[in-house]
Amino acid sequence: MQSAVSVKDLKIAYGDHTVIEKLSIDIAPREFLVLLGPSGCGKSTLLNAIAGLQDITSGEVWISGKNVTWEEPKDRGIGMVFQSYALYPRMTVRKNLSFGLRVAGLPKAEIEARIGRTAALLQLDKLLDRRPAELSGGQRQRVAIGRALVRQVDVFLFDEPLSNLDAKLRNELRVEIKKLHQSLGNTMIYVTHDQVEALTLADRIAIMKDGVIQQLASPSEIYHRPASLFVAGFIGAPAMNFIEGSIELKDDGPAFVSKGLNVDLAGYAFQAPPRGGPATLGFRPEHIALDGAAKGLPTLIGRVSVVEPMGADAVVWFDWADRSLSLRVMGDVALQPNEDIAPGLDIAKASLFGADGLRL
Amino acid sequence: MASPHPNGPRPARLTAGSIGLYAFLVVAALFFLLPLYTMVVTSLKTMDEIRLGQIFALPATLDFSAWATAWSGACMGTVCVGIRAGFWNSVAITVPSVALSVFIGAINGYALSLWRPRGSSLLFGLLMAGGLIPYQIFLYPMVRAMANINLYNSVPGIVLVHVIFGLPLVTLLFRNYFVSVPEELCKAARVDGAGFWRIFFEIMLPMAVPMVVVVSMLQFTGIWNDFLLGLVFAGRDNLPMTVQLNNIVNTTMGERTYNVNMAATILTALVPLAIYFLSGRWFVRGIAAGAVKG
């Protein structure tokens, strides 16, 4: 199948400083791809390079089967939404929406028709004659999305579109973007540093660090089977718990050993046949059960330090072997600080990483 | 006395300190208005009254003849046509100079705001220095250059000189304004297919209207009040109002007509004064616009 967007061996460098070194990625038609990573990881640079707003050092960019490496942004068949909305301040919403179409010299009737359709889709009908300064943040971002939509292109690029909004609006607009993708079926590439946006919106997430894609997989795969320590630590709130130790190959199979903890790894799905050596065991707060001992799981005996109720659930922090671990329980579980607990670890859902930080 | 229970807005209190402060402000304002008062009063007196030497006294009768003389009959040397010709010369010099320098400066500033090469801070330092170096240093080479291109002693020549000397500051002001415009705005316009000029005329320039007003006012007052460049480059037939005013005031033949001199001076200062009064609102808005984004 032909990919909608394809980046081949992309390199971007400013002088001696290399932002992206030889990056390749293929994005399928109708796919929602999220580029996720900490600030400065090169995700926005990559998006700008796809848009044609960023000079590249070497490599190719293909959009809809066409090599657009040397094309101007307007000729690439893309629409883009920016973090700061980037609405033209002296133009009304109508003029903002029609600007690109007027530049392209489309007939008036066609422009009117497209604005009508877009405004209806995004509920902008009543705002068409207002200036951006007279709109709320959520309305501004809807206009910015509308400006990308009227171009009727195959590929939409979003550069942290929700970062400037407050939490409630962010949730609302996130749902709107997801609906939009489901109804339009365009290819969307979405840059964010917010893992909730990434997990909720994406078909696939590309996690980036230092200009390199660390893992490219579905949200579920990324959450449950992180490919490296970095990905495991970056995704999830509260963060994954880590315990350093080593893998020992015993007569009855491999085991993870650390400070009195001895976990039988028979239930763990190794990537490759296990070998002995130093390793890190990672497990999410919800994969360690308060009533683990009763289920016969390996237990971590500790003492509760802090309980953070969050309504539906609560995060319990407990001390185990001079480190603080987190545990997610239902919101109605009553636990007090200094209470002794013995939660059990579900090794089938845990992750093991080797000394090089990669998944075992 | 029991202190009242605090409730609602805090009562305004008139203390000795605040009375003293206002008194000082009033006195200071009167002090700085004194020269203007003297000029207006003197211009409305007859020469006989002026000779009495009471410069702060009000005129016995309102006599506007000095104003008429200043406008159309005052003598420069042996020519007695008033300051009227100078007024129209100044208009002919100032209007195109302001329009051109602001327009070109805006384009320059826009281009430089997009272009950030290595050592650009040094470049802007030099540009700033260009705006600060005294004109006198440039006079001689500038005269030779203008003579070489046959623009010496002409209106286009003096306009060109004003544009050149105005550009460093105008460029710098516009550049600093456009740098504060979010970069994403330009990117969005590029995705929409707009090029350099369309972005400038349809997006950047409409945003910069307050800046255009402020810079135009600065340029207008600067060029209208200019004396040196007008004297050197304009040529005998195009001398601006300031130069003609000087000629009237410094005419040494016969008696010094103080009332005419005062009227002519006020007439010359009237245009920039009127501009500040009429557009003070825009001026404040433009200065504020430099600090606020979006």
Average pLDDT over residues B118-135: 81
> Which residues are CB-contacts of B286 (< 8 A; sequence separation ≥ 6)?
B210, B211, B213, B214
With 0-12 / 13-18 / 19 or more C-beta atoms within 10 angstroms meaning exposed / middle / buried, residue A131 is middle
My answer on whether A278 and A147 are in the same domain is no
- For residue A141, list chain B residues with Cβ-Cβ distance below 8 A: none
Average pLDDT over residues B11-31: 91
Final residue of a structural domain among A190, A207, A232? A232
Share of chain A above pLDDT 70, in %: 99
Average pLDDT over residues A245-253: 87
Reduce the DSSP state of residue A165 to 3 states and report it: coil
The least confident of A314-323, B25-34, B55-64, B118-127 is B118-127
Residue A74 lies in a domain: yes
Place of tokens 């307007």: A74
Q: Per-residue pLDDT tens for A29-87? A: 999 999 999 988 999 999 999 999 999 999 999 999 899 999 999 999 999 999 888 99
Chain A CB within 8 Å of residue B189 CB: yes
User: Is-contact A154 A186, C-beta < 8 A?
Assistant: yes
My answer on whether A71 and A19 are in the same domain is yes
> Which residues are CB-contacts of A129 (< 8 A; sequence separation ≥ 6)?
A92, A93, A94
Confidence of residue B196 (pLDDT cuts 50, 70, 90): very high
Quick check: A72 and B198 CB within 8 A? no
Omega cis (within 30) before A161: no
* Domains of chain B, CATH where assigned: 88-240+272-291 (1.10.3720.10)
- Count the domains in chain A: 2
Dihedral over Cα of A146, A147, A150, A153: its sign: negative
Residue A360 lies in a domain: no
CA distance B38 to chain A (A): 47
Q: Which pTM was predicted?
A: 0.82
pLDDT over 80 (residue A172): yes
Alpha helices (H) along A225-355: 229-234
Q: What is the pLDDT of residue A126?
A: 92
My answer on whether A210 and A245 are in the same domain is no
Residue A207 lies in a domain: yes
My answer on whether A77 and A196 are in the same domain is yes
CA A261 – CA B226 distance, rounded (Å): 88
Chain A CB within 8 Å of residue B114 CB: no
Reduce the DSSP state of residue B110 to 3 states and report it: helix
My answer on whether A255 and A277 are in the same domain is yes
The identity of residue A127, as a single letter, is L
Chain B CB within 8 Å of residue A133 CB: yes
Q: Which residues pair with A323 in a beta bridge?
A: A320
Tell which residue, A147, A193, A181, has the closest CA to residue A30.
Answer: A181
My answer on whether A90 and A198 are in the same domain is yes
User: Is-contact A283 A299, C-beta < 8 A?
Assistant: no
Give residues 44 to 73 of B whose Cβ lies within 8 Å of A: none
pLDDT over 50 (residue B181): yes
HEC readout, A172-225: HHHHHHHHHHHHHCCEEEEEECCHHHHHHHCCEEEEEECCEEEEEECHHHHHHC
The identity of residue A134, as a single letter, is E
Residue A120 lies in a domain: yes
Confidence of residue B252 (pLDDT cuts 50, 70, 90): low
CATH number reported for the structural domain that contains residue A321 in this entry? 2.40.50.140
| H or E stretch covering A168 | helix A167-184
Mutate to test the interface with A, among B114, B192, B201 (most CBs of A within 10 A): B192
My answer on whether A34 and A157 are in the same domain is yes
User: Is-contact A97 A118, C-beta < 8 A?
Assistant: yes
With 0-12 / 13-18 / 19 or more C-beta atoms within 10 angstroms meaning exposed / middle / buried, residue B264 is buried
Residue A258 lies in a domain: yes
Place of tokens 């415009």: B181
Residue A68 lies in a domain: yes
CA distance A12 to chain B (A): 18
The strands making up A351-354's β-sheet, listed across from edge to edge, are: A261-264, A253-258, A241-250, A277-283, A351-354
Q: Per-residue pLDDT tens for A173-229? A: 999 999 999 998 899 999 999 999 999 999 999 999 999 999 999 999 999 999 999
pLDDT over 60 (residue A292): yes
Q: Which residues pair with A67 in a beta bridge?
A: A62
Residue A359 lies in a domain: no
CA A166 – CA A151 distance, rounded (Å): 28
The least confident of A220-229, B34-43, B161-170, B249-258 is B249-258
Domain extent at residue A277: 241-354
Place of tokens 């939009």: A180
Final residue of a structural domain among A209, A232, A255? A232
CA distance A167 to chain B (A): 23
Dihedral over Cα of A113, A118, A121, A125: its sign: negative
Chain B CB within 8 Å of residue A78 CB: yes
My answer on whether A294 and A179 are in the same domain is no
My answer on whether A45 and A170 are in the same domain is yes
Least CB–CB distance from B187: residue in A72, A82, A89: A82
Final residue of a structural domain among A201, A232, A263? A232
Chain A CB within 8 Å of residue B203 CB: yes
Q: What is the pLDDT of residue B3?
A: 72
pLDDT over 70 (residue B1): no
pLDDT over 50 (residue B174): yes
Q: What is the pLDDT of residue B30?
A: 95
Chain B CB within 8 Å of residue A51 CB: yes
My answer on whether A228 and A321 are in the same domain is no
My answer on whether A211 and A346 are in the same domain is no
Q: What is the pLDDT of residue B15?
A: 85
Place of tokens 């209470």: A339
Q: What is the pLDDT of residue B209?
A: 87
Q: Are strands A277-283 and A261-264 parallel, antiparallel or unpaired?
A: unpaired
Phi, psi (degrees; rounded to nearest 5) at A358:
-95, 155
Q: Per-residue pLDDT tens for B91-109? A: 999 999 999 999 999 999 9
My answer on whether A97 and A20 are in the same domain is yes
Q: What is the mean pLDDT of chain B?
A: 87
Chain B CB within 8 Å of residue A44 CB: no
The least confident of A89-93, A210-214, B83-87, B275-279 is B275-279
CATH number reported for the structural domain that contains residue A169 in this entry? 3.40.50.300
Confidence of residue B294 (pLDDT cuts 50, 70, 90): very low
Largest Cα separation within chain B, whole Å, is: 86
- ipTM for the assembly: 0.84
